[in-house]
């Protein structure tokens, strides 16, 4: 178990009586029924999660004339990733202009790459100005979704029930923290904290800090705290390639231009998006591409130029190809790890003891704080929520081996249920906001078919999903992610669980659903 929700006891199946359903809808008349009478259905929606994509869903649904929207958020605030990941140094290595909603450019970004707190402020600002908060039920986790008589019946952690026509799971990919299986971890006598559930009361200044992991979270934290601590031990199991990337502040003049002319920001958003799509996504999709070679050369040069000590440099040199693991971007990690307070520990961890971490060479690294920068269980998605479709089709069965989906948004046998940033989508070094916007535009077109009365149920066909998955797996073998390294991209078979084609192709397929790939029934 990795997150508080994973400890939740299995919820007993709920008998959803007609009385319960009636209690959740208008006493006068079910709005869906009223809409049906006029030939156009007033659909109701449950959005699960009030992070970046849940906020997006609510805004876009309203924009399209849907008004019956409830957002369920298990935390006590919105912002998802950016509310939970508040470790020192947290930032987004996707340019802030691109890591923004296309419809809400933000002239106030302070830097090219925004810090986590600034992104959270931005999301809160967008949610407030679009009236999203009023639809959110905070502190309420959806534990079950049962499809009964053509509608989704939800049960929450507070025991409440809701009935809706359509569910949008906006629950995130990098959400459930992964805890390392290290002997004695629970015996540590100091403070222990996972980066993805950061506790701001954890002391940093003048402390002896140990960080386990060398992913993006660890690298950002090392750079942020090396000169604040008494001693920093970075426990590296695998070295990382690091792409150098400066992060200058926007000047007052630039900010003024952004404020005066929002079109400048829109153009910049589009230009950076193209640059990412043409540069990065095309490169990683073909391990032998010129783009990949350029990325590799930049990472090698960064290591050679930044680390003076030959022995340290070699311990920091990965033995796999750059971008095989999710590329780490940092202007200052190498200088931080060379700080007199910092030590790179490459002897494997043997165990954790009350005083610190013992490595296999027998040395005890005494610590006050142990940081687990050990990543996420990326195959969980909206689980442990139980989703039961028609004919007792259970998501837990469908995903027992691994999660799959049609184009990462829909699961066969589970109608009127859509995911944002679901399994096998474009993850990697992209703007997940841009991904979610494209996916939601696609989902809206399907939902509009229900509203128009053309059908009442939409589900991806098994055939289309299997074809998509088989082609995806084949293409994934050519990507740089499959060139021989351990990473969270790889599924239980070692196949990259990601969109393996270009971002342009993703844009194209998201532009309009292929109706042949869906059952439109009812």
Contacting positions for ligand NAP (CB under 6 A) = 91-94, 174, 180, 182, 195, 212-218, 220, 237-238, 326, 349, 373-376, 486, 488
What's the Cα-to-Cα distance from 281 to each of 44, 293, 466, 467, rounded to whole Å? 36, 13, 24, 22
CB 38 within 8 A of CB 213: no
Interatomic CA distance for residues 36 and 27, integer angstroms: 17
Structure tokens at 319: 């033995």
What's the Cα-to-Cα distance from 115 to each of 109, 212, 271, rounded to whole Å? 9, 22, 22
Sequence-distant (6+) residues with CB within 8 A of 168 are 45, 46, 47, 48, 54, 57, 418, 419, 420, 443
Interatomic CA distance for residues 96 and 106, integer angstroms: 9
Please state the closest distance from residue 98 (CB atom) to ligand NAP, in A. Answer: 11
Please state the closest distance from residue 61 (CB atom) to ligand NAP, in A. Answer: 27
For ligand NAP, the closer CB: 96 or 195: 195
For ligand NAP, the closer CB: 70 or 439: 439
For ligand NAP, the closer CB: 296 or 448: 296
Please state the closest distance from residue 214 (CB atom) to ligand NAP, in A. Answer: 4
Helix (H) / strand (E) containing 146: strand 142-148
With tokens 């970004």, the residue in question is: 109
Please state the closest distance from residue 512 (CB atom) to ligand NAP, in A. Answer: 29
For ligand NAP, the closer CB: 89 or 162: 89
The helix/strand/coil state of 410 is: strand
Q: What is the dihedral of CA 52, 459, 477, 196, to 10 degrees?
A: 30
For ligand NAP, the closer CB: 180 or 184: 180
For ligand NAP, the closer CB: 285 or 413: 285
For ligand NAP, the closer CB: 389 or 403: 403
Q: Where are the beta strands (DSSP E) in 430-517?
A: 457-460
The helix/strand/coil state of 61 is: helix
Sequence-distant (6+) residues with CB within 8 A of 28 are none
CB 332 within 8 A of CB 223: yes
Please state the closest distance from residue 56 (CB atom) to ligand NAP, in A. Answer: 17
For ligand NAP, the closer CB: 43 or 92: 92
For ligand NAP, the closer CB: 70 or 236: 236
Please state the closest distance from residue 424 (CB atom) to ligand NAP, in A. Answer: 15
Please state the closest distance from residue 118 (CB atom) to ligand NAP, in A. Answer: 13
What's the Cα-to-Cα distance from 45 to each of 36, 71, 205, rounded to whole Å? 16, 8, 46
Interatomic CA distance for residues 476 and 501, integer angstroms: 8
Least Cα distance to 323 among 238, 418, 231, 240 occurs for 240
Beta-ladder partners of 345: 235
Please state the closest distance from residue 169 (CB atom) to ligand NAP, in A. Answer: 19
Please state the closest distance from residue 83 (CB atom) to ligand NAP, in A. Answer: 14
Residue facing ligand NAP at closest CB distance:
215
């Amino acid at each position: 178990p990795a997150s508080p929700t994973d400890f939740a006891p299995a919820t007993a199946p709920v008998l959803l009586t007609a009385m319960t359903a009636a209690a959740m809808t208008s006493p006068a008349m079910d709005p869906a029924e009223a809409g049906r009478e006029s030939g156009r259905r007033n659909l109701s929606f449950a959005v699960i999660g009030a992070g970046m994509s849940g906020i997006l869903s609510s805004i876009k649904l309203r924009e399209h004339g849907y008004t019956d929207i409830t957002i369920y958020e298990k935390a006590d605030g919105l912002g998802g990733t950016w509310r939970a990941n508040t470790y020192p140094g947290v930032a987004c290595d996707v340019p802030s202009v691109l890591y923004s909603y296309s419809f809400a450019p933000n002239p106030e970004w302070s830097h090219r790459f925004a810090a986590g707190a600034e992104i959270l402020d931005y999301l809160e600002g967008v949610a407030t100005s679009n009236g999203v908060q009023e639809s959110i039920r905070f502190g309420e986790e959806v534990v079950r979704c049962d499809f009964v008589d053509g509608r989704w019946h939800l049960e929450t952690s507070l025991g409440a029930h809701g009935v809706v026509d359509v569910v949008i799971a906006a629950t995130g990919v990098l959400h459930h923290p992964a805890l390392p299986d290290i002997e004695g971890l629970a015996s540590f006598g100091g403070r222990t904290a996972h980066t993805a559930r950061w506790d701001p009361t954890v002391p940093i200044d003048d402390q002896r800090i140990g960080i386990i992991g060398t992913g993006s979270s660890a690298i950002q934290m090392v750079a942020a705290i090396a000169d604040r601590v008494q001693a920093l031990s970075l426990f590296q199991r695998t070295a990382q390639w690091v792409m150098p990337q400066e992060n200058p502040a926007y000047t007052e003049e630039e900010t003024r231009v952004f404020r005066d002319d929002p079109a400048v920001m829109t153009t910049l958003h589009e230009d950076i998006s193209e640059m990412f799509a043409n540069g990065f996504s095309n490169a990683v999709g073909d391990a032998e591409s010129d783009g990949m070679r350029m990325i590799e050369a930049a990472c090698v040069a960064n290591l050679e130029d930044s680390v003076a000590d030959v022995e340290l440099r070699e311990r920091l040199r990965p033995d796999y190809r750059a971008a095989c693991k999710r590329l780490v971007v940092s202007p200052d990690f190498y200088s931080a790890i060379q700080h007199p307070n910092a030590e790179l520990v490459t002897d494997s961890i043997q165990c954790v003891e009350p005083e610190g971490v013992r490595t296999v060479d027998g040395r005890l690294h005494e610590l006050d704080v142990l940081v687990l920068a050990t990543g996420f269980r990326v195959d969980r998605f909206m689980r442990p929520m139980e989703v039961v479709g028609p004919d007792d089709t259970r998501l837990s069965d469908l995903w027992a081996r691994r999660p799959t989906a049609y184009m990462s948004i829909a699961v066969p046998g589970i109608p009127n249920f859509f995911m944002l940033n679901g399994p096998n989508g474009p993850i990697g070094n992209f703007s997940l906001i841009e991904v979610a916007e494209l996916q939601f535009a696609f989902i809206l077109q399907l939902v509009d078919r229900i509203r128009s009365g053309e059908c009442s149920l939409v589900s991806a066909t098994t055939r289309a999903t299997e074809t998509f998955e088989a082609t995806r797996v084949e293409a994934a073998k050519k990507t740089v992610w499959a060139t021989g390294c351990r990473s969270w991209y790889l599924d239980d078979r070692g196949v990259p669980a990601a969109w393996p084609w270009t971002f342009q192709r993703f844009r194209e397929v998201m532009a309009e659903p292929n109706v042949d790939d869906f059952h439109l029934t009812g």
